[in-house]
Structure 1
Amino acid sequence: MEKVKLGDIAVLINGDRGKNYPSQADITEEGDVPFVNAGHLTGRTIDFGDMNYISKEKYEKLNSGKFEKGDILYCLRGSLGKKAIVNDDVVGAIASSLVIIRPDYEKIDGEYLMFSLDSPSIKEQLVKANNGSSQPNLSAASVREYQIELPDISLQKEVVEKLTRVRNVMDERQKELNLLNELIKARFVEMFGDPIANTKGLEVRSLKDVMVLKAGDFTAASDISEEPNEVNMYPCYGGNGIRGYVAEYNQEGNYSLIGRQGALSGNVQYATGKFKNTEHALLVTPTIKMNSIWLNQLLINLDLKRYQTGAAQPGLSVKNLQEIQIIIVPIDEQNKYAEFVRQVDKSKVVELNAVA
């Protein structure tokens, strides 16, 4: 099948680096022009629920970075390759962490391009294009060089139709998994109350008194493989889950990790077995006896994103996190809750097998 450069079938438009990121004075009320950053790209669409808006006057002064219906917004920094297609009749502006991909619709179907950007081939090209700095980073120039399989436009639409059916089934399963996750959170509140407001009046202590937070070491992108293609390869966790696999691990056991930098700082994940965490993921080590499953859910329910600082590059300060007040619960109660979570997780396995 013919392959073409992405830059031959689409125009790539960067944000206006001189003017694009709004100051606090530029932020206006909902109803003006949306200003989109990486954190607003959710599930192939734009999440307008926590959007910043800029005035029409500010928008008109931008030299670049203006999107419109049919454009694809693609993440160049942090969560590389995260994307959304603009399906609504809306115009807006992007942060410099994104690039606009404007397809030539006479040559390529927009949804086909979205699926193509999810392909293993493109993911391999993305890894090679990452410049390997401490903060994952792509350039628009490197994205233009992506090689895209380009069948006839009618065949593209057939592919989209088939893959959309598959995705719809997977989305339904994901909804069921999300309900199970909500059940886990609801059970936590039922047993221990809201840990932020401490609605059950439990004993509290500062986080620094009961656990230690430590970031991992810098891990170059060139040391991370997309697949565990060797015998001794271990998951490598960044701030938003597994980035890939590495030849060495620095942790072993059951731990919570907290994303510390970027739009997804405050994200809580659970790592088990042998793994490595990068400088973007804080390893949580309790200094008193705690059930690791209970602790993970506690951190999720604390909504750590509330403690983000910074606008252009959100992040978490370890010093600030250490002052958070943590509820203290008897270990036998933690264990009861953890057993409930294990039973729910068995239902998740059933749902995942149904997808497969």
Structure 2
Amino acid sequence: MKVKIGEITKIKTGKLDANASSEDGEYPFFTCSREPLKISTYSYDCECVLVAGNGDLNVKYYNGKFDAYQRTYIIEDDSSGKLYMPYLYYFMEGYVERLREQAIGGVIKYIKLGNLTDAVIELPEIEKQKDIVEILEKAKELLNSRKNQIDMLDGLIKARFVEMFGDPRINPFGYDTEEIGKTCKVITGNTPSRKVSEYYGDYMEWIKTDNIVSGVLNPTKAAECLSESGAEEGRIVDENAILMACIAGSIASIGRVCVTDRRVAFNQQINAIVPEQYNTLFLYTLLQISKDYLVEDINMALKGILSKSKLEEKVFIVPSMELQDQFAEFIEQVDKSKVAVQKALNETQTLFDSLMQEYFG
């Protein structure tokens, strides 16, 4: 049978600001970030599905003590034994794309309670729900194994960077340093007027922050494109530029980077960095390693933004181009291995997606 989520659950939101976390906290603190932070106290002790209500919409399952950001929805069972919560988690994993389509707002999109309560779920017998979850768990385990391989290769790149250049913040080898605004061209994206429908079509991809995926070198394919006239109104970069998320729903999402492998347009939540005194692959890694430095002055309580001017003021090491090129050659070699692993990951993802489609439509 099909039922609305609101008929079989009770839903509330967290109460805390995003900056309430504590690095040495004992409990998870769920915000709109994909990865939970830590906190020293807890307000909730339950089995639940958590849905990020704004920014980087995502879904999590948790059972235990935790606390939550005020824009995070906490969904608990209220079905008198008819609902298996991990089953709801997997349903919401697939449904999150629908939530992204329903999100409203300006710079930072958000969903309303009704977007969750009105969602319709197929609810088979509880044992059937458990069987479905068992199958999906096995597929997810294989998927995570592939992702771990990718992470290990990324770790190899970062280890090689530190071996060659040291900690860039400490600069133990005494390399020259310079503000990034003097070594690169920084461009903030924009949104051509939505009032002019002719600006949107299929001429050029329009990249958003969800196309910038941590650990993935190039931007994923954009869901929306601009027309030729829209591209004239937009901000565009060629291949070998770096795109950085500068506005997001959580501090963890700000500073994500990718390298363009094609000519694209991009929205105002992204700063593009066009290197002039850097090898692009070297700078891409340098920015990844310097994530904490990039976001250290951002106050999420005051609408967290890494502005163009603030980014341009950030000071980074500038090793010789010869050393940068050597490091880039290493990245290219590792990336060949990543391509093979990524192929296997994509195949596993396709399997997982087909199962999700079969069970949840």
* TM norm structure 1: 0.80
Query: 2:14 corresponds to which residue?
Result: 15
- Match 2:325 to one of 313, 322, 335: 335
Deviation of 1:339 after TM superposition, in Å, equals 1.8
The amino acid that maps onto 1:348 is: K
Deviation of 1:135 after TM superposition, in Å, equals 1.1
- Match 1:144 to one of 113, 117, 133: 117
Q: Does 1:51 align with 2:38?
A: yes
- Match 2:243 to one of 253, 257, 263: 257
Check 1:133–1:266 CA distance in 2 against 1; reply closer, same or farther (3 A cut): same
d(CA) in 2 for partners of 1:198, 1:28: 25
Query: 2:359 corresponds to which residue?
Result: none
d(CA) in 1 for partners of 2:286, 2:258: 12
The amino acid that maps onto 2:50 is: L
d(CA) in 2 for partners of 1:34, 1:328: 38
The amino acid that maps onto 1:115 is: Y
- Superposed, 1:246-325 pairs within 5 Å as 246-248=224-226, 250-261=236-247, 262-263=249-250, 264-286=253-275, 288-303=276-291, 304-312=293-301, 313-325=303-315
Name the SS of the counterpart of 1:161 in structure 2.
helix
Which structure 2 residue ranges, 5 or more long, are not aligned?
213-219, 348-361
Residue-pair matches, total: 321
d(CA) in 1 for partners of 2:258, 2:273: 10
Provide Cα deviations, 1:203-239, integer angstroms capped at 9, x if missing partner.
111222112322211379999xxxxxx9656252217
- Match 1:182 to one of 143, 155, 161: 155
- Superposed, 1:23-42 pairs within 5 Å as 30=25, 35-39=29-33, 41-42=34-35
d(CA) in 2 for partners of 1:28, 1:168: 28
Q: Does 1:96 align with 2:67?
A: no
d(CA) in 2 for partners of 1:23, 1:163: 34
The amino acid that maps onto 1:99 is: Y
d(CA) in 2 for partners of 1:135, 1:253: 27
Provide Cα deviations, 1:221-274, integer angstroms capped at 9, x if missing partner.
999xxxxxx965625221772594222253331221222223111222233213
The amino acid that maps onto 1:280 is: Q
d(CA) in 2 for partners of 1:221, 1:182: 41
Query: 2:340 corresponds to which residue?
Result: 350
Name the SS of the counterpart of 1:283 in structure 2.
strand
- Match 1:77 to one of 42, 54, 62: 54
Check 1:255–1:3 CA distance in 2 against 1; reply closer, same or farther (3 A cut): farther
RCO greater where, 1 or 2, for CA within 8 Å and sep 6 or more?
2
Deviation of 1:197 after TM superposition, in Å, equals 0.9
Check 1:222–1:332 CA distance in 2 against 1; reply closer, same or farther (3 A cut): farther
Check 1:165–1:116 CA distance in 2 against 1; reply closer, same or farther (3 A cut): same
d(CA) in 2 for partners of 1:210, 1:243: 29
Q: Does 1:164 align with 2:110?
A: no
The amino acid that maps onto 1:238 is: T
Deviation of 1:124 after TM superposition, in Å, equals 4.5
**8 A Cα contact 1:6 1:145, kept in partner:** yes
Deviation of 1:134 after TM superposition, in Å, equals 2.2
Which structure 1 residue ranges, 5 or more long, are not aligned?
60-65, 224-229
Provide the identity percentage.
25
**8 A Cα contact 2:11 2:75, kept in partner:** yes
Q: State the superposition RMSD in angstroms.
A: 3.0
The amino acid that maps onto 2:314 is: I
d(CA) in 2 for partners of 1:135, 1:290: 32
Deviation of 1:322 after TM superposition, in Å, equals 2.3
Deviation of 1:29 after TM superposition, in Å, equals 7.6
The amino acid that maps onto 1:103 is: D
Provide Cα deviations, 1:20-62, integer angstroms capped at 9, x if missing partner.
43998x989845x7653223x42xxxx3xx42445xxxx7xxx
- Superposed, 1:109-120 pairs within 5 Å as 109-119=84-94
**8 A Cα contact 1:74 1:84, kept in partner:** yes
d(CA) in 2 for partners of 1:27, 1:166: 34
Deviation of 1:130 after TM superposition, in Å, equals 0.9
Query: 2:351 corresponds to which residue?
Result: none
d(CA) in 1 for partners of 2:19, 2:320: 47
The amino acid that maps onto 1:168 is: E
Name the SS of the counterpart of 1:142 in structure 2.
helix
Query: 2:188 corresponds to which residue?
Result: 215
**8 A Cα contact 1:239 1:260, kept in partner:** no
Check 1:318–1:247 CA distance in 2 against 1; reply closer, same or farther (3 A cut): closer
d(CA) in 1 for partners of 2:202, 2:307: 37
Deviation of 1:163 after TM superposition, in Å, equals 0.8
Check 1:343–1:235 CA distance in 2 against 1; reply closer, same or farther (3 A cut): farther
d(CA) in 1 for partners of 2:28, 2:323: 46
d(CA) in 1 for partners of 2:281, 2:149: 21
